[in-house]
Structure 1
Amino acid sequence: MIIFLLPKSSKKFLSDNIPELSLTEISDNKPLFNYISFFTQISPDLISGVSKALIYDDNKEYNNNVGERYKKYILNQEIYKLFINNCKGLKLFYWDTSHPLFKYQGATTCFSQLCTLKINLIFVTIGNLFDMIQICQNIKHLEVTNCNKNIEGLVDFINIQRNLQSLCIDFLAKEKLHFSIFRPLNDIIMKKASTLKKFTVRPFIRLLSPKILTSLINLQHLEIISDADFTLILGGSTMEVWDEYLSIASFPNLQYLEIYFNTDLFFTKDYMLIEKSNGNILEINIRREKLHDPIYTKILIITISKCCPKIKKLTINIEPENFEDLKEIFLNCTQLEMMSLSLDSEEHNGDKLLEIILDYSPETLREYSFFKKENSIFTTKGLEKFFENWKK
C-alpha cells in the first residue's frame, strides 16, 4: 500500500537503482485517503519492515554485501522522505538511522510537535543533532541509547529542551572510558534535574556523578541498572560515594523504584529512599545477583512494610532467614497485587514460603512468581496444597 503513495520522482529513482522493483509500472492511482498523515509515531522497525517486504524474497537468502546494503539504504531513504513529508505532527519517534532526516521536505512540520524521542547515538551524527536542535525544543521524554564519548551534540540538544520530564541514558563502552569525558553531560543533567520526573541510567552508572540524585527534587520514577564490567570505567565516584548520596537524596513524590546489580558491587543504603518517599511508592523492583545478605534483606522488607502502604507491585531478593519477615509486608501492604521473589540460596525451604503466602497475603495479591537459577525449591506436595487452597 505504501508504494502507491510514493511520488513519481521516488518511484523513478528507486526503479533506476533497484530495477527488480519496477515501480514505474505501478499505477499512479493513489488510495482514497492518505493514511500516513494519521501516523503519530514512526519506528525503525516500520521502515525496515516495509523495505524488506519490497526488496527481499522470502525464498532467497539475504546477502549483506555492498550492493544489497545500498539498495536498502536508498529504499529506506525514500520511505522516510514519504513519511516525513506526509506526517503533520509526530508525537513519538525512534531515531535509529544515519539518514539526514531533518533536511527532508516537511521535517519542520513533521517533528515540531515531537514530545517523545529515542536516539541511538551509534547512527546519529553531531551534524544531525544540530539539525534536530533547530526543530525539536519541546521534548518531554528522551531516551539515549549507546551513549559513548561523542556527546557534544547530545549535551546541546538536552540544553535546548524547555520542559524535559523524562531522561534515560544508556551507556555504551567497548573500550575503557574516563569519567571526565562525561562531565558536560553531568552538568547539563544537573541543570535540567528540577523538571525531571523520570530518570534512568544504565549500565555504567559510575560515568555519572551521584550528585545528580540530590537535584532530582520532583522525581517520581527512578531506575539504576548496573550489569556491566566496572573495569572499563576510569575515575568517577566509587560505589561507597554513590551509597552515601542515596542516603542523602530525598524523593517525596517517588512512585517507582528499580535498582538492579549484576556485579559484586552494590548499594546498601537504597532502602533510605523508600523511607523518605512519603508513602507514595506503587512499585519496587530491587534485585542483586551474586549476593546472600539476609541482614540487608530484612532491613529492606521492614522498610517496605512500614513505608509503602500503597504498593501494588514488588520484586526483591529473598533469603530463607527472611521468610517470616514477609508477613510484615502482607499485613501492612494491603493493596499488593503482584509479587516476584528472587531465590538464590540453596537452603530454601520453599514449602514454608508457600505457607506464608497462603496464610498471610492480602486478598488483592493475584500474581506471583519466583526466580530460581537451578532446581525448584518446592515439593510436589507443597505445591498441591498451595494451589488447592489458594484464595479459597
Structure 2
Amino acid sequence: MERLNIDCLILIFNELRTDKKSLHSCLLVNKVWCHLVVPILWGKYPWYVIDRKESEKLINVIISQLSSSSRKFLSENNVSLSSTILSKPLTFNYVSLCKFPGAENVSNIINIVNNYDFTKRRDLLEQEIYKLFISQCKNIKELSWETSQPLSLFPGALTCFSQLHSLRINMNIVSSNNLHEMAKICKDLNELIVNKYSQDTPGLISLIDAQRNLKSISFASYYIKKEREGTYEELSNVLARKGCTINNLYSSNLVGVISHSFLSSFINLKELTIYQYDDYKSEKIQEFQQYLAISKFPGLQSLKIGGVSCFKELAMLIEKTEGNLSYVYIDMSNKDAESTGMVIKAIADNCPKIEYLSTYLGPKDLIYVKPLLLHCSKLSRLRLKNLYENNIIGDELLDILTSSSPLSLNNIKLSGGWKYSINSIERFFESYRGRKLLEFGIKDNIHEDNFTIEHIKIIRKYINEGVIGHTNL
C-alpha cells in the first residue's frame, strides 16, 4: 500500500511540474515528499533563475560538488572558490538531476565565481564545470555545443552523450577534432543542427556518417566566403549517404555553395525548408533548380522556400507528391519571377490536404484560384502576394474568394498592391457572416490610393459585428 501511495504521489507531482510554487510547498511536507519533488524541481527549473541572489545560491550548490581534484587543480591555478563552497554536505547529488547546462549557463556560473575575469583562469574554471556535469549527468538527450572545450574527451563522456537525440553545434567554436571524437560516442542522433557552417569539416562529416537513424538535419551558413564556392563536396556526399533516413531538411544560404545532387537521395523527406538570401551567380541557382526539378518526395508534408526563384521547379516537385502536403510557404524578392501560377495549379491538382498556403499571384494566375479553393477543402490559412506592378486584379480575386472559399478558410492575408472596391470588400465580408473570419489582413506596402479611410470603416464595421476577429488595419 505504501508503494502504491508513492506511485500516486509521483503521478501527482508530475502533473504539477509546471507549477513551481506548488512543488516548493510539497517539498516541505516531509522527507518522502522532498525526495520525490527535488528531482522534478532540479530537472526543470535550475537555469530559469533571474534574481541575482537566487543565482548565487544555485551556483554555490553546483560549485560545492566539484571533486577534490578539481578544487585542488583550480586552487593551484589561482582560481579562488572559498567564498562559494558550502560547508555542510549536500543532501542530494543536485548536478546529476539538472538539465545539462548551455554555454550561457556555464558563463553565468563563471562570471559570478570568477568576477568576470577573462584570463586563462576563466577557461580552466569552464573546463572543470563541464567535467563536473559530464561526470554526473547520465544519458542526456539534448546538447547545445557552443564551447571550444573537448566535451567528448572528458571522463564520463561515453555515459553522458551516448544516448543523445538532439545536437546543436556552433561551427565557429567547436573544432573538427572534437567532432571526430564525438562521432565515436554519439551514433543515435535524431536531430542535428549545424550553425555558422563555413567549410567542409572532416569531423562533422564523420559525425554525420556515424549516425544510424538521423531524421532531421539543419544548416545555417551565414558566413560563407565566395572564394570557398565549390569546396563542399564531402558534405553533399555524406548527405546523400544518409538520405534514406532523413525526413526533415533545413538549409540557409547553401544554394550555390554545395551541389544539391543529394536531394534525389532524400526519398523519405517530409519537411523541406530552404532559405537563400545571398546573391549568387545565375548558373549556381540553375544547378539547384535542376536538382529540385528532378527530385521526388512522395511523403512531403511541409515545403518552405525563400529567396530563390523556382516556381516552375516547385510545381514539378509538388506534382510528384502523393497528396500529403499540408503546408507551403514561398517568399521571393525577385520581381522577374515567372510561372507563379504553376505552383497554385499544382497544389490545386495534387494537394487535397493543404491547410496553409503563402505564395504569389500574377494577373494571369486568377484562373487557378477557384480550382484551388474548390479542391482544397481543408485550406484554413491563405496568403497571396503580388510580385508585379499590375494592381487591377483585387476585385476579381475577392469575388472568387466570395463565391468559392471552403468553410475551413478563416485566415486570409492579401497583397497591399492590389485595388479593392468598397462593393467587393462588402460582398466578401458578407459571405463570412455566420462563419467567422478569424483574421483578415493586407500585407506588404498598402497604397493609399488602393486602401482608403472608407475601406477601414467597412472593416471596422464587420469587426464590431463579429464577422472579423482580427486585422492589421
Task: Compute the TM-score of the two structures, normalised by the length of structure 1.
Answer: 0.82
CA 383–281 in structure 1, closer or farther in 2 if over 3 Å, else same = farther
| Contact 1:219-1:254 within 8 A present in 2 as well | yes
Distance, in Å, in 2 between the alignment partners of 1:300 and 1:230 is 24
Which of the numbers 105, 108, 111 marks the counterpart of 1:46?
105
- Flag the structure with larger Rg: 2
| Contact 2:259-2:287 within 8 A present in 1 as well | no
Distance, in Å, in 2 between the alignment partners of 1:88 and 1:274 is 44
CA 385–53 in structure 1, closer or farther in 2 if over 3 Å, else same = farther
Distance, in Å, in 2 between the alignment partners of 1:73 and 1:357 is 62
CA 370–123 in structure 1, closer or farther in 2 if over 3 Å, else same = farther
1:78 matches 2:122: no
| Contact 1:316-1:340 within 8 A present in 2 as well | yes
| Contact 2:96-2:136 within 8 A present in 1 as well | yes
| Contact 1:309-1:332 within 8 A present in 2 as well | yes
Q: Partner of 2:458 in structure 1?
A: 385
CA 80–349 in structure 1, closer or farther in 2 if over 3 Å, else same = farther
CA 2–241 in structure 1, closer or farther in 2 if over 3 Å, else same = same
| Contact 1:206-1:238 within 8 A present in 2 as well | yes
Q: Partner of 1:271 in structure 2?
A: 315
Which of the numbers 88, 93, 115 marks the counterpart of 2:143?
93
| Contact 2:171-2:195 within 8 A present in 1 as well | yes
1:288 matches 2:332: yes
1:178 matches 2:229: yes
Taking the TM superposition and a 5 Å limit, the aligned residue runs for 1:57-72 are: 67-68=117-118, 70=120, 72=122
Distance, in Å, in 2 between the alignment partners of 1:105 and 1:133 is 16
Q: Partner of 1:121 in structure 2?
A: 171
Distance apart, 1:380 and its partner CA: 3.8
Provide, for residues 76-124 of structure 1, a one-character-per-residue CA deviation record: whole Å limited to 9, x for no partner.
3333233222221211111111011112222111101001111111111
1:27 matches 2:77: no
Distance apart, 1:45 and its partner CA: 3.5
Distance, in Å, in 1 between the alignment partners of 2:111 and 2:360 is 44
Distance, in Å, in 2 between the alignment partners of 1:317 and 1:53 is 52
Q: Partner of 1:238 in structure 2?
A: 284
Q: Partner of 1:301 in structure 2?
A: 344
Distance, in Å, in 1 between the alignment partners of 2:256 and 2:445 is 32
Distance apart, 1:149 and its partner CA: 2.4
CA 83–314 in structure 1, closer or farther in 2 if over 3 Å, else same = farther
Distance, in Å, in 2 between the alignment partners of 1:361 and 1:210 is 38
Q: Partner of 2:377 in structure 1?
A: 334
| Contact 1:310-1:335 within 8 A present in 2 as well | yes
Distance, in Å, in 2 between the alignment partners of 1:358 and 1:82 is 64
Instruction: Give the partner amino acid of 1:334.
Output: S
Instruction: Give the partner amino acid of 1:311.
Output: I
| Contact 1:338-1:366 within 8 A present in 2 as well | yes
CA 323–40 in structure 1, closer or farther in 2 if over 3 Å, else same = farther
Q: Partner of 1:59 in structure 2?
A: none
CA 82–312 in structure 1, closer or farther in 2 if over 3 Å, else same = farther
Distance, in Å, in 2 between the alignment partners of 1:280 and 1:203 is 27
Q: Partner of 2:157 in structure 1?
A: 107
1:198 matches 2:248: yes
| Contact 1:305-1:329 within 8 A present in 2 as well | yes
SS of the equivalent of 1:23 reads: coil
Distance, in Å, in 1 between the alignment partners of 2:210 and 2:241 is 11
SS of the equivalent of 1:194 reads: coil
Taking the TM superposition and a 5 Å limit, the aligned residue runs for 1:352-391 are: 352=395, 356-357=400-401, 360-369=404-413, 372-376=443-447, 378-386=451-459, 388=462, 389-390=467-468
Task: Compute the TM-score of the two structures, normalised by the length of structure 2.
Answer: 0.69
Distance, in Å, in 2 between the alignment partners of 1:242 and 1:287 is 17
SS of the equivalent of 1:284 reads: strand
Q: Partner of 1:3 in structure 2?
A: 60
Of structures 1 and 2, the one scoring higher in RCO (CA 8 A, sep 6+) is 1
Distance, in Å, in 2 between the alignment partners of 1:141 and 1:354 is 43
Aligned residues: 372
CA 219–348 in structure 1, closer or farther in 2 if over 3 Å, else same = same
Provide, for residues 212-232 of structure 1, a one-character-per-residue CA deviation record: whole Å limited to 9, x for no partner.
12111111111222111326x
CA 22–338 in structure 1, closer or farther in 2 if over 3 Å, else same = farther
Distance, in Å, in 1 between the alignment partners of 2:354 and 2:99 is 33
1:188 matches 2:188: no
Q: Partner of 1:258 in structure 2?
A: 304
User: What 5-or-longer segments of structure 1 have no aligned partner?
Assistant: 57-61
Instruction: Give the partner amino acid of 2:166.
Output: T
Distance, in Å, in 1 between the alignment partners of 2:412 and 2:325 is 19
Instruction: Give the partner amino acid of 1:365.
Output: L
CA 95–381 in structure 1, closer or farther in 2 if over 3 Å, else same = same
SS of the equivalent of 1:240 reads: helix
Provide, for residues 41-78 of structure 1, a one-character-per-residue CA deviation record: whole Å limited to 9, x for no partner.
5433333344456566xxxxx8xxxx526455444333
Distance, in Å, in 2 between the alignment partners of 1:82 and 1:130 is 22
CA 342–75 in structure 1, closer or farther in 2 if over 3 Å, else same = farther
CA 151–25 in structure 1, closer or farther in 2 if over 3 Å, else same = closer
User: What 5-or-longer segments of structure 2 have no aligned partner?
Assistant: 1-57, 416-442
Distance, in Å, in 1 between the alignment partners of 2:291 and 2:259 is 10
Percent identity, aligned pairs only, is: 31
SS of the equivalent of 1:176 reads: helix
Taking the TM superposition and a 5 Å limit, the aligned residue runs for 1:123-142 are: 123-142=173-192
